[in-house]
């Protein structure tokens, strides 16, 4: 899958290089030889999941600006590579997220209300308000926990995959990370271990061109990020990450091969982070607006909609109705989340020990009965 190539890093044209797998062209038409030939209903479900993700992203950023939540880290412009790859995983497979993959968790059936509860850190938050917003977890959905340190999820995913292999279970593990994380220790440790141990792990690199304020060309001297698989004996492929059908097709093939014992794979998904790194970031300070505008022309939702038009599978009226329904559902979830109480103080002392030791019991009693500021824990 590796070939000699020189690729421009932060221009939309790089997504259409001959060595990058693409299915949907800019006009919405597919390349028949690369088309995964999904049922129209499934194609529509993927598109709707991307639209839903975009709507949620937009509203959560507004909530943060209004001071109603403290933080949000979104996936604006990256919906296709996240939804397409998540859909390619089988139900029994596990996903280890970075922190932009809430769309993948929702795709797996995680209730929207539970996700919104996490954003507010209320009493029904699955992590009981102990983490920042967007640090969710979904064990029931074979979805690992989000943690902020860059790259740590890769060694965790590889360990999980290796354990599954040793136990003989039919499980493939995927792990998301940005191209900036390829500069982390855990990337090299995870890739090397996976290559040596032939672990069933799919490394999903979202090359969105920016690691906070550091452009991708400052992260590596390699011609591509896929090239990094060569040193570890890990087959690698590059895919147009703004093409949800291409991403699905590539990742699905990797999953099927990995499940047969053909080891790990590295998938470089070429996309672009249209928004800031998070709501704490202002990208205008370090990148040109012209660059962002050029990438907006490759918006995965626009291209996906063009493809649906070629299938005559979706109308403007249906699109508008779906968006309104999604906005209404989200609005109801937000209203419910804001009415819920904060987590009880006692929850800080739960979940670590099977039997709480005496000294923690003393600390819990002092914490619960001691003085504190009004309206705060």
User: DSSP for 308-334?
Assistant: HHHHT---HHHHHHHHHHHHHHHHHHH
Q: Can you tell me the distance from the alpha carbon of 321 to that of 327, in angstroms, rounded to the nearest whole number?
A: 10
Q: Can you tell me the distance from the alpha carbon of 156 to that of 149, in angstroms, rounded to the nearest whole number?
A: 12
Q: Strands, E, within the chain: which ranges?
A: 94-96, 173-178, 201-207, 210-211, 214-215, 236-240, 265-270
User: Is 220 exposed, middle or buried, given 0-12, 13-18 or 19+ CB atoms closer than 10 A?
Assistant: middle
- Identify whether the C-beta of residue 134 lies closer than 8 Å to the C-beta of residue 213: no
Active-site residue (options: 62, 90, 130, 286): 286
> β-pairing, 201-207 with 94-96?
unpaired
Active-site residue (options: 10, 100, 252, 277): 277
Structure tokens at 60: 């959560």
Active site (annotated) includes residue 286: yes
Active site (annotated) includes residue 248: no
- Identify whether the C-beta of residue 263 lies closer than 8 Å to the C-beta of residue 198: yes
Active-site residue (options: 52, 273, 303, 307): 273
Q: Give the 3-state secondary structure of residue 220.
A: coil
What secondary structure letter does DSSP report for 232? G
Q: Can you tell me the distance from the alpha carbon of 189 to that of 317, in angstroms, rounded to the nearest whole number?
A: 50
**Widest CA span of the chain, in angstroms?**
69
Scanning 66-203, the segments in alpha helix (DSSP H) are 79-88, 102-107, 112-120, 152-167, 185-197
Question: Could you tell me the CA-to-CA distances from 176 to 72, 154, 299 in Å, in that order?
Answer: 18, 8, 20
Active site (annotated) includes residue 277: yes
Q: How many CA atoms lie within 13 A of 361 on its CB side?
A: 5
What secondary structure letter does DSSP report for 19? T
- Identify whether the C-beta of residue 24 lies closer than 8 Å to the C-beta of residue 305: no
- Give the distance, in angstroms, between the CA of residue 255 and the centroid of all CA atoms in the same chain: 17
Annotated catalytic residues are: 273, 277, 286
């Amino acid at each position: 899958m590796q070939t000699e190539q020189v690729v421009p890093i932060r221009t939309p044209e790089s997504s259409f290089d001959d060595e990058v797998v693409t299915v949907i062209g800019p006009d919405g038409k597919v390349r028949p030889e690369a088309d995964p030939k999904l049922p129209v209903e499934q194609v529509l479900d993927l598109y709707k999941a991307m639209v839903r993700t975009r709507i949620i992203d937009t509203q959560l950023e507004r909530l943060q600006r209004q001071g109603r939540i403290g933080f949000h880290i979104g996936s604006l412009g990256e919906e296709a590579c996240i939804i397409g790859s998540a859909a390619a995983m089988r139900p029994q497979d596990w996903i280890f997220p970075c922190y932009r993959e809430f769309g993948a968790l929702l795709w797996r059936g995680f209730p929207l209300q539970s996700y919104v509860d996490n954003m507010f850190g209320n009493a029904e938050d699955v992590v009981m308000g102990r983490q920042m917003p967007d640090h969710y977890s979904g064990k029931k959905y074979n979805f690992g926990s989000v943690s902020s340190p860059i790259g740590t999820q890769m060694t965790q995913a590889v360990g999980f995959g290796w354990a599954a292999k040793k136990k003989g279970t039919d499980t493939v593990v995927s792990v998301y990370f940005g191209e900036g994380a390829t500069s982390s220790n855990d990337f090299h440790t995870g890739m090397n271990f996976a290559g040596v141990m032939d672990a069933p792990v799919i490394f999903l690199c979202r090359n969105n061109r920016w690691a906070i304020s550091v452009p991708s060309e400052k992260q590596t001297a390699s011609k591509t990020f896929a090239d990094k698989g060569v040193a570890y004996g890990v087959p690698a492929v590059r895919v147009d990450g703004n093409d949800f059908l291409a991403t699905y097709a590539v990742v699905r093939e990797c999953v099927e091969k990995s499940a047969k014992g053909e080891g790990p794979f590295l998938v470089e998904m070429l996309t672009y982070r249209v928004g800031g790194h998070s709501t704490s970031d202002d990208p205008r300070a370090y990148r040109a607006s012209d660059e962002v505008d050029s990438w907006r022309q490759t918006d995965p939702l626009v291209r996906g909609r063009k493809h649906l038009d070629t299938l005559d599978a979706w109308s403007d009226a249906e699109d508008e109705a779906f968006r309104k329904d999604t906005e209404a559902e989200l609005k109801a979830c937000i209203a419910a989340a804001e009415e819920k109480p904060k987590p009880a103080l006692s929850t800080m002392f739960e979940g670590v020990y099977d039997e709480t030791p005496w000294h923690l019991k003393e600390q819990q009693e002092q914490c619960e009965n001691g003085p504190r500021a009004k309206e705060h824990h």
